[in-house]
């Protein structure tokens, strides 16, 4: 009895020592991340932006939408209104701080939504190959035939102009980019010996895909995700700027910018600050994504 228990314990200990593939790739990922300076800087910048977006709204004195004061409308930056006021006399600083969260939220949400679908589609396409693969990839080619913001525009023309529809349109735009990359990585992974070994041991397709292939193609997915957040934010704020996304009272950064455009002649600051905000967000994600790609790209290991 005792011996059996001891035996059980020792096998349990042995099990613990070998990390799950997820944990291993997470550890590996973090180790590489730490070595790359620009990935670290970008990462810290993103964390700072997220903290400002979450905590900032509790510290702003004014309300982003309802605090109108026509006595101070269209004023330049001052001690009371750091970024000046808009045509309703609302505090632009407050609006930008609130808008930061909305804009970041759109970027993350659209990337995660489109990313999940794109990753699934890409893995299925790469893993099963054959006819499934060629049909899926032709479909992705069709989606990729609409450059940049055009696909989102086409989708908005069906769905109608609203913030929610912009998120849907941008996530659909994410699907083919993720699918392509994931398919490539899956193809490279699925013929490795340990996958054959898993199959020989009788593992199901689902188990192989999610427990063994997915953790191993995580790095390119993360790189793609961080770069796509920038694209998503750029497209979404662009659509809001065109009046096809977030609608006027909303402090989404693109929407504030769109509104500021009407007052370029007497109050240029309204457009200046939300644009700076978008630029800093994009800068953070581009630096982070670039750094990650360098850190994780095996070609760069020399």
Partner 1 sequence: MFQFIVRRLLQLIPVLLGVTILVFSLMHLSPGNPAHIIAGESAPKDTVEQIEERLGLNDPILVQYGNFLKDVVTLDFGNSWRTSLPVSEELWPKFWVTFELSVYSTIFSIFLGLIAGIISAVRQYSVADVSIMLVALFGLSMPNFWLGLMLMQWFSINLGWLPATGWGSAEQIVLPVITLGTMGAAVIARMTRSSMLDVVTQDYIRTARAKGLSERLVIYKHALKNALIPVVTVVGLQFGSLLAGAVLTESVFAINGMGKLIVDRILARDFPTVQAAVLVIAVIFVLVNLLVDISYKFLNKRIDLD
- Residues of this chain that interact with partner 1 (CB under 8 A) are 138-139, 141-142, 145-150, 153-154, 156-161, 230, 234, 237-238, 241-244, 257, 260-261, 264-265, 268, 271-272, 275, 278-279, 282-283, 286-287
Q: Which is nearer to partner 1, 19 or 297 (CB)?
A: 297
What is the rounded distance in angstroms from the CA atom of residue 63 to the CA atom of residue 57? 9
**Which CB, 15 or 301, lies closer to partner 1?**
301
Pick between residue 195 and residue 271 the one whose CB is nearest to partner 1. Answer: 271
* Least separation in angstroms between CB 230 and partner 1: 7
Main-chain phi, psi angles of 160, to 5 degrees: 95, 160
Nearer to partner 1, 6 or 142 (CB): 142
Helix, strand or coil, per DSSP, at residue 85: strand
Which residues in 147-163 are b (16+ Cβ under 10 Å) and which e? eebebbbebbeeeebeb
CA distances from 151 to 144, 155, 172 (A): 8, 6, 9
Using a CB cutoff of 8 Å and minimum separation of 24, what contacts does 190-193 make?
190/126, 190/127
Distance, in Å, from the CA atom of 58 to the CA atom of 231, rounded to the nearest integer, reads 29
| Cβ at position 147, least distance to partner 1 in Å | 4
Cα separation, 229 vs 204, in Å, equals 33
Nearer Cβ to partner 1, position 213 or 230?
Answer: 230
Closest CA to 151 of 110, 123, 105, 184: 110
Cβ 135 to partner 1 shortest distance, Å:
10
Residue where the block lists tokens 């979450």: 54
Q: State the minimum distance, in angstroms, from the CB of residue 261 to partner 1.
A: 6
The smaller minimum CB distance to partner 1, of residues 234 and 296, is found at 234
Give the nearest distance from C-beta 122 to partner 1 in angstroms: 18
Least spacing, CB of residue 171 vs partner 1, in Å? 16
The CA distance from 288 to 228, in Å, is 11
């Amino acid at each position: 009895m005792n011996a059996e228990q001891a035996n059980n314990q020792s096998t349990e200990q042995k099990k613990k020592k070998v990390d799950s593939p997820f944990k291993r790739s997470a550890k590996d990922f973090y180790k590489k991340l730490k070595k790359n300076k620009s990935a670290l800087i970008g990462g810290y910048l993103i964390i700072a932006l997220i903290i400002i977006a979450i905590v900032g709204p509790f510290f702003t004195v004014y309300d982003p939408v309802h605090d109108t004061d026509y006595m101070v409308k269209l004023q330049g930056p001052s001690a009371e209104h750091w970024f000046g006021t808009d045509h309703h006399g609302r505090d632009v600083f407050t609006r930008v701080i609130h808008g930061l969260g909305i804009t970041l939220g759109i970027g993350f949400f659209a990337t995660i939504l489109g990313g999940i679908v794109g990753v699934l589609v890409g893995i299925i396409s790469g893993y099963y190959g054959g006819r499934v693969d060629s049909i899926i990839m032709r479909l992705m080619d069709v989606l990729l035939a609409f450059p940049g913001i055009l696909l989102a525009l086409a989708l908005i023309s069906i769905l109608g102009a609203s913030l929610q529809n912009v998120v849907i349109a941008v996530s659909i735009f994410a699907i083919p980019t993720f699918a392509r990359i994931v398919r490539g990585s899956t193809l490279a992974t699925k013929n490795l010996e340990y996958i054959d070994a898993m199959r020989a041991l009788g593992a199901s397709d689902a188990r192989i895909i999610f427990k063994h292939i997915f953790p191993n193609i995580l790095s390119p997915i993360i790189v793609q995700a961080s770069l796509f957040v920038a694209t998503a934010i750029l497209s979404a704020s662009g659509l809001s700027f065109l009046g096809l996304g977030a609608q006027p009272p909303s402090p989404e950064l693109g929407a504030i910018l769109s509104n500021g455009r009407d007052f370029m002649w007497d109050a240029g600051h309204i457009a200046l600050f939300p644009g700076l905000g978008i630029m800093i967000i994009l800068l953070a994600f581009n630096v982070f994504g670039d750094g990650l790609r360098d850190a994780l790209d095996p070609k760069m290991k020399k």
